[in-house]
Chains A and B, each alone.
Chain A
C-alpha cells in the first residue's frame, strides 16, 4: 500500500534525478535548471526543502549521497562536463533560522571533455571514492585519500568503455570474495549491435579495472542500471532500464586456480524481462532488501516488481504520480482507488489488498 504525496518541487526545468540518503530521511533532487535541492523529512512527516542552490552551468543529470560516515556530502554531475562534490556546513548562520542549510562546493572534477552523465560514490568499505562516467565513454574513479579533506581528489583509474556511457552502478557487495565491480550502461543509439552494458572488475594483481563481461543481449540504449543490494548473497543481481526492464543474475564462477590473474567469469542469467511500460524505461531502483524493484518509463508510471519463491518476477503494483487510475494495466494488481482530491494527488494503490479471494481471480 502506498500513499502518494505530491511535493511542489519548484524546479524551473525537468527534474532528472532524485536520491535518498543512507538513512532515508533526506532527499536530493537535481534539475536542468542547474540547481540541486535538498529535502528533509520533518517530524510531521512532510518533506521540506532545506537547501536549494545553483550547482553547475548546465543541466544537472544526477545527484548522489555519500555514506554519512564521510559527513553530509553530495555529488552532482552535469552537462557542463564537470562533477562536483558538496558538503553541508553546520554553523550558526542566519540561514538556520529560515530553515535553510548551507552547502559549499568542495571540489570540481573537470577531467571530462563531454557531458558527465552519472556520478556514484563507491561502497563505503572501499573508502571515499567517487566514480563518474561521461558521454565520450570514459569512466573515471577518484579517491579522496584523506576523508577529512573533501577538496582533494586524485584520479585513480580511467576506464575506456568505447560506449556513450549513460549510467554506472557499483556492486554494493562488501564480501571479500567479490572484488570491486562496476557496471556501465550506454545509450548510444548508433552501433545497435553491440552490447550496451559492460561489467568492469578490479584486479588485485594488476591494480587495474578490466572488463569482465559485456551483456551482449542488451543492444538498445540503456538509461539506468542498478545492482541490487547484496545482503550476503553469493551472486549479483543487476537491473537494467532500456526499452524494457531487465533483471540479470551474475553468478561468479569459481576460478580454476587461485592465482589466475584474469577477471572473474560470470554465468549470466536473465531472470526477467518486462516490456509492460510499452516505452523507454528511464529508471530502475531497488528497495533496501532487494526484494522489490521499481521502474519508471515514458508511460509516466512506476511499476513494482517482485519475485516469488520460484524466482518468477511479477508486477505487484502500478503507481501514477498524479493519482489518475491506470487504464488497461496488464499487471494482476491494478487495484487502484483514487481518493479524489484533485491537485493534492492523493492516491492509494491497493496492491493486492484483497488477499486470497483476489488471487483466485488472477490468471497464472
Chain B
C-alpha cells in the first residue's frame, strides 16, 4: 500500500508562528502541506508555505466550546486527507471531517472512556480503523462506520500512555503503560495481549515503530531513557539504549535514516534531540528554539529527513530545518591534554585525528583498515556524516619524559634535596650549592652561586672566599669571568648615561675583544672560567640558538663589561689593576665562550677581578644587581633559585626586596615542594623564611589531642608529664626511654614510642608493645 514516492522537493526554512494557546499535540497531513495543532484551548490547521505558516482553519467553533475541543492528542489520517481524530481530556474520542460544509467539522463522538484519552491512532492502511488509549487503562478500537467501539482491550495494568499500530504487521499494535510495561496486541484478539515486557522503570510515555525495520520499537520513559527493542525474535531484546537527561515525552524515528530518532522531554528540558542510536551518549543534532516544554514533534514528510515540526507549551509552532540544527559534537572537544607534574604528558585524541594524515582526506578508511564487522561494507564507500558520527573512539597515551630530558623535573627534586640553605658559613653554603648546581648540569645557577659567594663574603675571611681554581694556578692574573645575563639589564640601565662619553673606550674594548679572538687557546685560561664545556647540555636551548645570538653576545660583551669597570674606577684603589686587566689578552675569555656558551648563558660577560672587590666594596654595592637577578630567576619560572638565594643571603638582601614579592616567592616554592612531596625541604624553607605569613604556615591548623599512655586520660597540659597520674607520658613502650623526636602512638590504646622501635615490634607482633592486649594498627 506504499503509495508514497520520494517527495519531489519540500522547500522551506526554519520558521515559526505564534499560537494563541499552548499546544498539546501536532500532526501533519499526508502531503505535508498542512499541520494541525491541538491543545486545551486551541485546535487549528496551518498551511505550510515556503516562507511561513498560514492559518487555514479554526476548528474550535461555538461561543462556549465544549470540553470535546480540549485535546490531549490529535492525528491526521494518513490515507484520507479530510479525516482527523482527537483525544479529548474529558474522555471523548472525536473524529473530524474537513469536507463537511458547515463550520462545525465534528463528525463522530465516542464517549466510552471514563478518563482522559491520552492517545489516538489511525491504522496506517485501513481507512476506518481508529485506536484509542486512555488513562482508565483501556484501549478501544473503533470502526468509523459504526457508532460504537468494536473491541476493547484491557491492559490489566495501569493507564495507557501511548498506542501505535505497527507499520508492517497489519494486525499488531503496541501499547505503553504507566507502570513501565509495553504490550503487544493482535487487533483480532481483544481478550489477551500477545506479549508483554517491562521496558522502563516508571511510566513509558511513548513508543514508535521503526518505519522500515519490521520488529523495531522505540520506547521512551520517565527514567530518561530511550530504548530500542527488537520484537522479531522470540524473546524481546533491547538492542539500543539512549540515555537522555530528562524524561522522554515523545520519540519519533527519523525518515530515511535507519538509526536516527528524535525525542523531546516533558519537563526541564525544552530542546529537541536527534540521536543516532548507535552512539547513545551524545545527540547527533539539537533544536534549541523552544522556550518551554516541547509537546509534539513530527517529521513533516514520511520520506524527508530534513524537516521537523514541533509544537510547544510556549505557544509556538516551529518548522526546524536540519541544516540549522546545532551539532553538539562539533563543539565537543575531541582531545584532552595535560602536563603532569614530572613533565609527562597525557594525551587523548579521537582516533581518526591521530591516524589521519595532515591532509584530512579519506579519514574513514584509514581509521578502520580491517573494516568493521558490525556494519556492511558499503558503509565505507563514502564516509558520510552520519557514519562518521556513529563510529568514534579515542586513544589515550602518556608521553613520559625520560630522566635526563629537559621536560623532566628530576633536576628540581635533586636540587631541592641537595641544596644547603643553612647551618654552615655563608661561603660554604654557596660553594656547596654551586657544586650541586654544577653536578646537575645547571652551570648558570652554579656560576651564580659562586658569584654570590665572592660578592658577599666577608672581607675579613679571605680564605673562605678564595676560589680553589685560583689556588691551582696562582701565577696567572686573578681574573674571574662570569657570565650572567641577569646583570646586564641592571647595568645597562645604570650606565646609559655613562655610555656617551665612553664610546671611545668602548671601541678600544671592542678591539681588545677582537684580539682575543685571534689569540686562540691560551691554555690554562679555561680553568678560570666557571663556564665550561658542559654548558651546552641544555639541549633545548642549544638547538634553538644559532650563530646570530652568539655573535650578538660577543658584541655586547664589552659594553657590559666596561661600565662596571668605569664605576670601579671611581674607587681609589681600582684604576691600576683595572688598566692592567684591559690590556690583558685574557680579559674575557671570549674564545671559550664562542666555543661553548649558549646564548642564554653568554648574553653578557662580566669580568670581575676578585682581588679588587673583596677588600673594598661593601656587599651592599651588589644588592641592586642581586635583586635584579632574583627577579630574573623568578620571572623565568625558577623560583627555586630565587628562594634559595634569598634564604642563603638572608639579611644581606632581604631588605632590598619587596616583602610581598618575597612572600609570593616563598609561597610558590613551598607549593612546588609540596607537589613533589618534598615535605622535609618544604618544612625547612618555611622554618628559614623570614616572612611572617610563611612562618605561621607551620604553626597553623594542626592540633594534637593526646592521651596519657599511663592513665589513658586526655592530656590537658602541654608538658610531658600527665597532670593526673604524674607520670611521664611520652615513654617508649619498647625501650622505656623518653622519646624525643619522632613519636608514634596507637590511637586506640595511646601506647607508642620511637618510630623505629614500634615498626620493628609490629613486624613481629600484632599486639601492643606495652602489653595492654590491644591490637594496634600501624599504617
Contact = CB atoms under 8 A, between A and B. Distances in A.
B651 interface: no
Contacts of B343: 287-288, 292
Given A22-B675, A300-B353, A321-B397, A232 B661 contact: yes
Nearest to A24: B341
A351 B332 contact: no
B664 A20 contact: no
Contacts of A19: 336, 338
Given A7-B396, A11-B394, A15-B394, A290 B637 contact: yes
Contact of A231 (B331, B542, B544, B672): B672
B544 A176 contact: no
Interface in A274-311: 278-279, 282-292, 294-300, 302, 304, 306, 308-310
A300 B354 contact: yes
A231 B357 contact: no
Interface string A79-115: 1110000000000000000000000000000000001
Contact of A232 (B243, B336, B337, B669): B669
Interface stretch (B152-160, B192-200, B545-553, B766-774): B545-553
B638 A289 contact: yes
A66 to B, nearest CB: 14
Nearest to A8: B396
A234 interface: yes
Interface in B356-377: 356-358, 360
B341 A23 contact: yes
Given A7-B397, A321-B354, A58 B544 contact: no
Contacts of B661: 175, 177, 232, 234
B663 interface: yes
Given A24-B675, A61-B333, A9 B347 contact: no
B282 A79 contact: yes
Interface string A348-364: 01011111101110111
A271 interface: no
Contacts of B564: none
Contacts of B665: 232
A232 B647 CA distance: 15
A362 B402 CA distance: 24
Contact of B281 (A9, A25, A59, A345): A59
Nearest to A289: B637
Given A187-B331, A278-B358, A314-B544, A18 B660 contact: no
Contacts of B406: 292, 351
Nearest to A322: B354
Interface stretch (B57-65, B425-433, B435-443, B533-541): B533-541
Contacts of A228: 637
Contact of A288 (B281, B409, B547): B409
Contacts of B337: 18, 282-285, 294-296, 302
A15 B348 contact: yes
B693 to A, nearest CB: 8
Given A14-B393, A232-B668, A362-B543, A1 B642 contact: no
A18 B407 contact: no
Nearest to A284: B337
A300 B341 contact: no
Contacts of A166: 331
Contacts of A345: 397
A270 to B, nearest CB: 18
A358 B543 contact: yes
Interface in B543-570: 543-549
A158 interface: no
B243 A18 contact: no
Given A13-B281, A115-B328, A234-B635, A2 B341 contact: no
B589 interface: no
A76 interface: no
A20 B675 CA distance: 12
Given A15-B348, A332-B543, A173 B342 contact: no
B398 A285 contact: no
B396 A9 contact: yes
Nearest to A228: B637
A359 to B, nearest CB: 5
A24 B400 CA distance: 12
A25 B398 CA distance: 12
B667 A24 contact: no
B344 interface: yes
A223 interface: yes
B711 interface: no
B649 to A, nearest CB: 16
Interface size, B (range): 35 or more
A4 B336 CA distance: 15
A140 interface: no
A208 B406 CA distance: 42
B759 interface: no
A187 B638 CA distance: 34
A186 to B, nearest CB: 11
B675 A287 contact: no
Given A3-B399, A233-B634, A319 B348 contact: no
A327 B357 contact: yes
A2 B402 contact: yes
B374 to A, nearest CB: 14
Nearest to A306: B540
Nearest to B224: A57
A288 B339 contact: yes
A289 B638 CA distance: 7
B712 interface: no
A242 interface: no
Contacts of A187: 331
Contacts of B544: 306, 308, 312, 314, 316, 332, 352, 359, 362
Contacts of A45: 400
Contacts of A17: 333, 336, 338, 348
Contact of B667 (A3, A125, A223): A125
Interface string A174-202: 11110000000001000000000000000
B512 interface: no
**Of listed B338, B642, B664, residue having the most chain A CB within 10 A:** B338
A364 B331 CA distance: 37
A265 interface: no
B401 A282 contact: no
A13 B336 CA distance: 13
B778 interface: no
B97 to A, nearest CB: 44
Contacts of A295: 337
A38 B244 CA distance: 24
Contact of B346 (A13, A27, A173): A27
Contacts of B541: 308-309
B281 A32 contact: yes
A270 B391 CA distance: 39
A229 B155 CA distance: 65
B353 A309 contact: no
Contacts of A15: 336, 348-349, 394, 396
27 contacts: A9-B395, A9-B396, A14-B332, A16-B336, A19-B336, A32-B281, A45-B400, A59-B281, A61-B333, A125-B667, A177-B660, A177-B661, A232-B661, A233-B634, A234-B635, A285-B337, A288-B409, A292-B406, A296-B337, A302-B347, A304-B407, A308-B541, A309-B541, A316-B544, A321-B349, A351-B405, A351-B406
Given A11-B393, A292-B407, 8 more contacts: A20-B346, A23-B341, A57-B244, A79-B282, A80-B245, A287-B339, A351-B406, A359-B542
The 9 nearest A-B residue pairs measured at CB: A24-B341, A352-B543, A175-B664, A283-B337, A15-B394, A80-B245, A15-B348, A9-B396, A300-B353
Interface of A: 1-9, 11-20, 22-25, 27, 29-34, 45, 47, 56-59, 61, 79-81, 115, 124-125, 135, 166, 173-177, 187, 223-224, 228-235, 278-279, 282-292, 294-300, 302, 304, 306, 308-310, 312, 314, 316, 319-322, 324, 327-328, 332-333, 345, 349, 351-356, 358-360, 362-364
